[in-house]
Amino acid sequence: MSIPVDVAVIGCGPVGAFAANLLGKLGLRAMVVERDREPYSLPRAVHVDHEMLRLFADVDLLEAVEPRMVAADGHLHIGADGGVIRFLSAAGAPRPFTFANDYFFYQPELEAALRAGVRRFPQLELRFGTALTDLWQDDDGVTLQLDSGETVRARYVIGCDGARSAVRKALGIRLDDLSFDEPWLVVDAEVDGPISFPQFAGLPDGADLQRLSVMLCDPRRPATIVPGRGKHRRWEFMLVPGESDVDMMQPHVVAALIAPWVKGVTHRIVRATTYHFHGLVAEDWRRGRVFLAGDAAHQTPPFFGQGMCHGLRDVANLAWKLALVLRDTADAKLLDSYQRERDPHVRAILGAAVEAGRYICELDPERAAARDTRLRSQSGPRTAADLIPPICHGIVEQGSGARFIQPMLTRPEGCVVRLDEISGGGWTLVLSEGSDVTLSPGAAAVWGRLEGTTIMLGKDCTDAEGHLTRWLAQHSAIGVIVRPDFYCYASAADATALSCAIERLGSALCLRPVALSPTKDIHRRIVA
């Protein structure tokens, strides 16, 4: 007999585990299938940005993961002459998203916290130490065969099973190669003190090299030095022509490469292995009822630390849409927006990472010098987070689609909380102070069907730092509609425009017809 579930998640690395936590929070019945019984014991991904901290908070895991992370000050690129060519940092700047822009972590700890979170939900079936052997689908669902002998019947499947994805291979989905393939040696170590740095010309005042990801764009050997939590440090060294993977992983070679950075400091090598940094994107992110997410769908060079972030955004984008469809609130056509939104978003960031990789990996001294001159003349983004583009096609209104801010706000009783702690996540409408808004019957029906929350500044909270007030003023808006994945669906200048936007939202989401409710004041008191 087949085990029936709403969603089967194949793979329980960070992306699969986060997907399971989201599905659990949404009340869906899911099964997680993971071939390894325990999280991989060595570090792989090391960086996330503020958006990921917000997503962890959304599944009530912030207290579990944030203490295991170190907030860093950004990214520093050093040219062939030893001078700064690019500095991406928001250190000391206001924080409209509350969290720091950059966090570094130790992946086994993060995975353990995410897996522990999965176990909170009794409706989630867990199959660790179990592999998928086959899958086939029809109009009503997907049948999965596991090596345990079990058969699972799922209405939908999310393949989060990594770069060598068995799900992707079973579906016959090809990868679009963006023509970037460079071999690098990655060295992780436990270091009992600060590491040594040379004197870099043009370093900004107050920049703390111990809290920065430092990229050496040296044509003799490009390299990266990455901060980590606690004693963990990472180095990445590009292999130059003539060097082999086997030779570069030899202990004496590894020791010689990191020696300049650990002078007089006790340290222990945790691992040293070679990787090929790729730029790849799946041509199709979905076949029927099966979706790809994370490394199964795309692989990004690590130069802006966005690889894991991509995967977490994937499932944050997909989970709330699956919930609407599975609850019969929306038609399954809504799911067509998944690739339409995520593919261009990923390609834009991946393209920036590939571009950075190409200038970082430049081995010709003359071209490297020209590169340094060119980059120093460009203003460029202020932070790596500024590289994240808006969603341009999908469930967004024209001109919207950017990540929406999440400042600290003061509740009437005096406590200071994040915006999402007031809204509780889900669809949220933020209104300017003193707004007099009454929705049209059609808009009220849509908002009620989505179980949307409304927050009025000055009534439900005080915007002491002014981030929300400034955002609304800059967009000439009386209100802004925020999606469950915290991207802006639309803003509106008045109550009529707001009603029209919400009515269009109902159509964009392919909501199934519902009876219209009477016109009513949409503002409701948020109860602590």
Residues 171-192 pLDDT 10s: 999 999 988 888 999 999 999 9
Judge whether 480 lies within some domain: yes
Residue 327 lies in a domain: yes
Asked whether residue 380 is domain-assigned, the answer is no
Helix 495-508 to helix 441-449 angle (10° resolution) is: 50
Is 307 domain-assigned?
A: yes
pLDDT of 517 higher than 50 = no
What is the number of structural domains in the chain? 2
The CATH number that applies at residue 109 is: 3.50.50.60
Work out the pLDDT band at 522, boundaries 50, 70, 90: very low
Q: How far is CA 291 from the centre of its chain?
A: 17
Domain end, chosen from 363, 389, 423, is at 363
| Pair (349, 440) in one structural domain | no
Question: Which tops the pLDDT comparison, 153 or 42?
Answer: 153
Last residue of a domain, one of 303, 335, 363: 363
Distance (Å, whole) CA 346 – CA 469: 30
Boundary of a domain, candidates 363, 398, 421: 363
Same domain flag for 22 and 110: yes
Say whether pLDDT at 385 is over 80.
no
* Poorest-pLDDT segment among 273-277, 383-387, 411-415, 458-462: 383-387
pLDDT band at 521; cut points 50, 70, 90: very low
How much is the average pLDDT of 351-376? 93
Q: Is residue 343, in this structure, part of any structural domain at all?
A: yes
- HSE-CB at 298 with a 13 A cutoff on CA atoms is 34
Does 528 have pLDDT greater than 60?
no
Shared domain check, 24 and 151: yes
Model confidence over 191-212: pLDDT tens digits? Answer: 999 999 998 999 988 889 999 9
235: Cα within 13 Å, side-chain hemisphere: 29
Residue 519 has pLDDT above 60, yes or no: no
Residue 388 pLDDT: 87
Whether the predicted pLDDT of 236 surpasses 60: yes
What is the percent of the chain where pLDDT is above 90? 85
Query: Which residue from 353, 335, 348, 349 is spatially nearest to 292, judged by alpha carbons?
Result: 335
pLDDT for residue 387: 80
372 within some domain: no
Together in a domain, 352 and 437 = no
R_g of the chain computed on alpha carbons: 24
pLDDT digit string (tens) for 292-343?
999 999 999 888 889 999 999 999 999 999 999 999 999 999 999 999 999 9
Residue 348 structural domain:
3-69+105-173+282-363
Rounded Cα distance, 22 and 437, in Å:
32
Task: Give the model's pLDDT for residue 513.
Answer: 80
Among 157, 190, 197, 152, smallest CA distance to 43 is for 190
pLDDT at 526: 32
Q: What is the mean pLDDT of the chain?
A: 93
Residues 359 and 421 in one domain: no
CATH code, domain with 482: 3.40.30.10
pLDDT higher than threshold 70 for residue 404: yes
Mean pLDDT of 19-39: 96
Q: Under a CB-based contact definition with an 8 Å cutoff, are residues 363 and 67 in contact?
A: no
pLDDT of residue 381: 72
Same domain for 7 and 131, yes or no, is: yes
Residue 215: is its pLDDT beyond 60?
yes
How much is the average pLDDT of 287-294? 98
Residue 101: which residues within 8 A CB-CB, separation 6 or more? 49, 50, 74, 89, 90, 383, 384, 385
Task: Say yes or no: 358 and 416 in one domain.
Answer: no
| Residue 219 within a domain | no
The one-letter code for the residue type at 97 is F
pLDDT confidence of 518, banded at 50, 70, 90?
Answer: very low
Same domain, yes or no: 485 and 337: no
Residues 6+ away with beta carbon under 8 Å from 261: 195, 196, 197, 225, 235
Q: How confident is the model at residue 276 (pLDDT cuts 50, 70, 90)?
A: confident
Measure the CA–CA gap between 237 and 87, rounded to whole angstroms: 20
Q: Is residue 193 part of a domain?
A: no
Whether 357 and 413 share a structural domain:
no
Let me know whether 37 and 115 are in one domain: yes
Specify whether 44 is located in the same domain as 116.
yes
* 33 and 159 part of one domain: yes
- pLDDT of residue 393 exceeding 50, the answer is yes
